[in-house]
Amino acid sequence: MPVLIVLKQSMEWVIAGLKIRISIRSKLLLISAVLFVVPWIGVQYIQDMENFLRVNQEKNLLGKAQIVAAVLQGQAEVFQSGINLLANDTASEKNFNTSSHIYVRPLKRSIQLDGYIDDWLDYEEKSKQLKSDDPLSFQYKYYLASYKKYLYIVLKVKDDRLVYRKANSLSLNKSDHVIIKLRNRESELKTYFIATQSPGWVNAHRMEQHQDEWVSVAPELRIKGEWQETSDGYNIEIRLPLALIGDGFSFFVVDVDDEKKRDVVSVLGEGENIDDLGSIIIPSKKVETMLTRIVRPASRTWVIDQNYRVLAVAGDIKEGESLSEYDVDENEPGAISKVVSVFYNLLLNQPPRDFKDELSSVSYLRGQVVQSALAGEPSTSWRDTPDKRVKILTASYPVKVKGVPVGAIAIEETSNSILILQNRAMEILINLSVLTFFITVFVLLSYATRLSVRIRRLRDETEHAISNDGRIENDFKLTRSTDEIGDLSRSFSDMLLRLAEYNRYLETMAGKLSHELRTPVTVVRSSLENLQIADSDDARKIYIERASEGMARLSHILTRMSEATRLEQTLQSETLQDVKFSELIDSCVAGYRLVYPDVYFKIDNKNRSCASISGVPELFAQMMDKLISNAVDFHTELTPVIIKIREQKNRLQLSVINQGDILPESMRDNLFESMVSVRSKRGNQPHLGLGLYIVRMIAEFHKGDVRAENLEDGSGVEVVLNIPFK
């Protein structure tokens, strides 16, 4: 019963005070959830792999920078101080002030000259903000780029007070205006003013300074633009030919607030003062073509001189890898693929489509990594973008001429490539994990279903094998399965056979008891009846003796039935002592020869053992009585009863052999159970199937075992007793 209770409880789980029965399939399904440990470990490994990928990316990018630097060593003129490569690849040899430097980036499409910044919205990142001492009063943002043969400048000015040029006034510096200073290809310094009487089309005027006064020399119709007034100031969109520009260029925005005094309040530009002329680089097609061939996708390559000025730049770090590789392909058929793509977009951290790039419009490139390269040492470094969305790797390598650094190559890449590799590995890991999980669940459920069917079949056979009144009705179907359920089924089948034999014995028990008790009861009853009608003392004496014999026989039957119970109680209080086993057997056999004079007892004790055992002599004698009595009852007349004694390792083996009827196969395993008997003949003494049960009890008390076997030649039975000795 305790075992059944434990098994029953193991099939129920207590959740929130409620008992929930869970089947084998459900348990196996829950156990299969352990498989999720595998993808979890994979995720941890992929995340830890980021450091390895970063180191590998640093090595690859530094190698790329080294290759570009080697290529540019043959283009040393690019790094010569004061040289500007123009669109037509001409150069000036004049020196210029390096207080400011402008690197002009090309436009990808034409710009409509209308004073509106709609065409420049895609270049918002390449704009630059300049603020005065009072930014609420005056500041501006400018865009500068080239397209074909023209340089475009857009000024988005915030001015709290607009002051236009007076009508018919020759003074262009007494109103809000723009100053453009440049050195042309002939190395001539030119100054241009742009001012207007009202919003609309504007032209530049070439100006010269005479006695501290700016005087208009002539209009410059090649420099033109559009002036548009806005809610907080004005916009100026200017176009000038690249042919006008040599190696120096600067521009300034001048603010005038008082319409009466018309004094200059603020001058704001890239240079520190209006007399500064900065350098300008407009990359030639030769340099652009060369860099385009060696620049890898989703990277940006910088060419920097010793003054940290940008001489050339190619590539875009926002291309390629900035786009997610898991975007839904609208042309891809199948809803499942789209759903999976959307799922991965939501689940995984995607490479950002847009991030703030603070270096997209710079004309100077500084930083520790550039300083190291200009000092002659290659280096790499990581930095975060201002919005913390992406990490950017910069690898720099010096460009040397005759062993002296003349410039540096800096190549940038984002961490998006690492993130894409991680996402791809994560996608593969998830796909394989899900596939593995479903296959495992399917296999486990199929196996659990098969187990459940077999267990239910075993349960049904068990329920139908025994009727409600405890009778054996059906046999188990034998299975050839070698697993535990097959063993259990065969064990149940064997158990059922033993129960059937035991039931048959119990069913005949009434007949056995009736047969054993009927005769003495009849003897007693008839003796008492005859005693009442007896007319002589001799007759009464005979009837009294006969009644006494019947009572003695009844007493003997009751004694035999209670013998096993008394033996169990005796075993609990017995004290072990050393017993000479061979001497004990010899003594017992001598007595049996007197009790059974017609039976020949043969002792086979080769190499006579002198081993002692720890036990109780009286119990051994009682055990031998049962074995010899059983052998005598079943032996064939004129055949001996053989007693063998052997030593095997640390055990003594006693065998009692008789020739006669052999044991039925169905009773060999339960012959030593209580109330089991295979006798087909009845004698004068009652036999209730307790003798061999008592033998087993005594053997187990002495830490031994007993078994019964048919002889190999089928001529009889051998009972083997094994008992350890000292």
The single-letter DSSP state of residue 84 is -
User: Residue 284 corresponds to which amino acid?
Assistant: S
Q: Which of 294, 193, 292, 185 lies closest to 238, judged by CA?
A: 193
Of 38-47, 435-444, 541-550, 557-566, minimum mean pLDDT range: 557-566
Tell me the backbone φ, ψ of residue 353, rounded to 5 degrees: -70, -30
Any domain includes 666: yes
Query: If pLDDT is split at 50, 70 and 90, which confidence band does 510 have?
Result: low
DSSP state of 541: H
Q: Reply yes or no on whether the pLDDT at 297 is more than 70.
A: yes
Q: Is 717 helix (H, G, I), strand (E, B) or coil?
A: strand
**What digits encode the pLDDT tens for the residues 366-407?**
889 999 999 999 999 998 888 888 888 999 999 988 888 889
- Rounded CA-CA distance 21/26 in Å is 10
Burial class (CB in 10 A: 0-12, 13-18, 19+), 613: buried
Q: Is the model's pLDDT at 326 over the cut of 50?
A: no
For the residues 300-304, what does the mean pLDDT come to?
Answer: 89
CA distances 165 to 155, 205, 564, 676, Å, are 18, 13, 135, 133
State whether residue 622 is helix, strand or coil: helix
Predicted confidence at residue 512, as pLDDT, reads: 62
Indicate whether 105 and 188 sit together in one domain. yes
pLDDT at 11 over 60: no
d(CA 414, CA 356): 12
Burial 384-400 (b: 16+ CB within 10 A, else e): ebeeebbbbbbbbbbbb
Greatest Cα pair distance, the chain, in angstroms, is 186
Of the residues 529, 545, 570, which one is the last residue of a structural domain?
570
Q: Could you report the per-residue pLDDT of 668-715, keeping only the tens digit for each?
A: 666 776 656 666 554 555 555 667 878 888 888 888 888 888 888 888
- One domain for residues 194 and 267: yes
Q: Residue 486 and residue 2: Cα distance in Å, rounded? A: 24
Q: Is residue 136 part of a domain?
A: yes
Mean pLDDT, range 227-244, rounded to an integer: 93
pLDDT at 619: 81
The answer to whether position 36 is within a domain reads: no
Least confidently predicted of 222-231, 279-288, 578-587: 279-288
The whole-number average pLDDT for the span 494-513 is: 72
Q: Rounded distance, CA 62 to CA 55, Å?
A: 11
Give residue 565's pLDDT. 62
Would you state the pLDDT for residue 181? 92
Asked if residue 589 has pLDDT above 70, the reply is yes
Residue position matching structure tokens 């759903």: 339
Full domain range(s) for residue 671: 577-724
**Res 97 pLDDT > 80:** no
- 110/199 same-domain check: yes
Q: Would you say residue 1 has pLDDT above 50?
A: no
- Distance, CA of 304 to CA of 398 (rounded, Å): 10
**What ranges in 73-170 are assigned the alpha helix state H?**
none
In this prediction, residue 82 has a pLDDT band, given cuts at 50, 70 and 90, of very low
Residue 618 pLDDT exceeds 90: no
The pLDDT of 317-331, averaged and rounded, is 52
Residue range 72-87: mean pLDDT, rounded: 59
Confidence (pLDDT) at 175? 92
* CATH code assigned at 693: 3.30.565.10
pLDDT of residue 685: 54
User: 689 and 513 in contact (C-beta within 8 Å)?
Assistant: no
DSSP character at residue 23 = -
- The answer to whether residue 243 is domain-embedded is yes
SS (H, E, C) 234-254: EEEEEEEEHHHCCCEEEEEEE
Instruction: Say yes or no: 117 and 266 in one domain.
Output: yes
Give yes or no: residues 566 and 620 share one domain.
no
* Residue 693 belongs to some domain of the structure: yes
Checking if the pLDDT of 432 tops 70, the result is yes
Q: Do 361 and 377 form a contact (C-beta atoms < 8 A)?
A: no
Q: What is the pLDDT of residue 680?
A: 55
Structure tokens belonging to residue 73: 């060593």
Q: What is the pLDDT of residues 252-262, one digit of tens each?
A: 999 999 888 88
Domain boundary among the residues 522, 554, 570 is at 570
Can you say whether the dihedral through the CA atoms of 496, 498, 502, 504 is positive or negative? positive
The answer to whether 210 and 270 have CB atoms below 8 angstroms apart is: no
pLDDT at 81 over 60: no
The bridge status of strand 189-194 relative to strand 177-183 is: antiparallel
Per-residue model confidence as pLDDT tens digits over 29-71: 777 777 777 777 777 777 677 788 888 888 989 998 988 888 8
Most confident of 273-282, 473-482, 639-648: 639-648
Task: Residue 523: give its domain's CATH number.
Answer: 1.10.287.130
pLDDT at residue 3 tops 50:
no
Residue pLDDT, tens place only, 58-67 = 898 999 898 8
Q: Which of 246-260, 323-337, 342-356 has the lowest mean pLDDT?
A: 323-337
pLDDT at 715: 87
Give the pLDDT score at 617: 83
In a domain, 365, yes or no: no
User: Which of the 8 DSSP states describes residue 27?
Assistant: H
| pLDDT the model gives residue 93 | 37
Residue 472 DSSP code: B
Identify whether residues 529 and 633 lie together within a single domain.
no
Dist CA 624 CA 560 (whole Å): 16
Share of the chain above pLDDT 90, in %: 16
Same domain, residue pair 581 and 559: no
Residue 578: CB partners within 8 Å, gap ≥ 6? 612, 613, 614, 726
Residues 691-711: b if buried by 16+ CB within 10 A, e if exposed: bbbbbbbbbebbebebebebe
Tokens for 447? 């196996």
Q: Tell whether 130 and 273 lie within a shared domain.
A: yes
Please give the structure tokens belonging to residue 418: 């690492």
pLDDT at 329 over 50: no
3-state secondary structure 372-436: HHHCCCCEEEEEECCCCCCEEEEEEEEEEECCEEEEEEEEEEECHHHHHHHHHHHHHHHHHHHHH
Q: Please give the average per-residue pLDDT across 93-119, as a whole number.
A: 76
Show the tokens assigned to 313: 């730049």
Residues 562 and 624 in one domain: no
State pLDDT tens for residues 152-186: 999 999 999 999 998 878 788 889 999 999 988 88
State the angle between helix axes of 617-634 and 691-701 in degrees (0 to 180), rounded to the nearest 10.
150
Looking at the fold, whether 714 and 676 belong to one and the same domain comes out as: yes
Last residue of a domain, one of 281, 296, 322: 281
Q: 601 and 507: one domain?
A: no
Mean pLDDT of 622-642: 86
**Predicted confidence band of residue 15 (pLDDT cuts 50, 70, 90):** very low
Residues 543 and 505 grouped into a single domain: yes
Dist. CA 407–CA 71, nearest whole Å: 13
Q: Which residue, chain included where needed, has tokens 């009927």?
A: 518
Report yes or no on 528 lying in a domain: yes
Range with the poorest average pLDDT among 198-212, 466-480, 611-625: 466-480
Average pLDDT score, the chain: 79
**pLDDT exceeds 70 at position 330:** no
d(CA 654, CA 603) in angstroms, rounded, equals 11
The larger pLDDT score, comparing residue 306 to residue 506, is at 306
Share of the chain above pLDDT 70, in %: 81
What is the rounded end-to-end Cα distance, in angstroms, of the chain?
A: 39
Q: Span 119-143, mean pLDDT?
A: 87
**Is residue 218 included in any domain, yes or no?**
yes
Q: Check which CATH number belongs to the domain holding 264 and give it.
A: 2.60.40.1190
Query: Where is mean pLDDT largest: 139-143, 298-302, 453-457, 622-626?
Result: 139-143
Q: Report the alpha-carbon distance of residue 81 to residue 93 in Å, rounded.
A: 9
Total of domains in the chain: 3
Main-chain phi, psi angles of 123, to 5 degrees: -110, 25
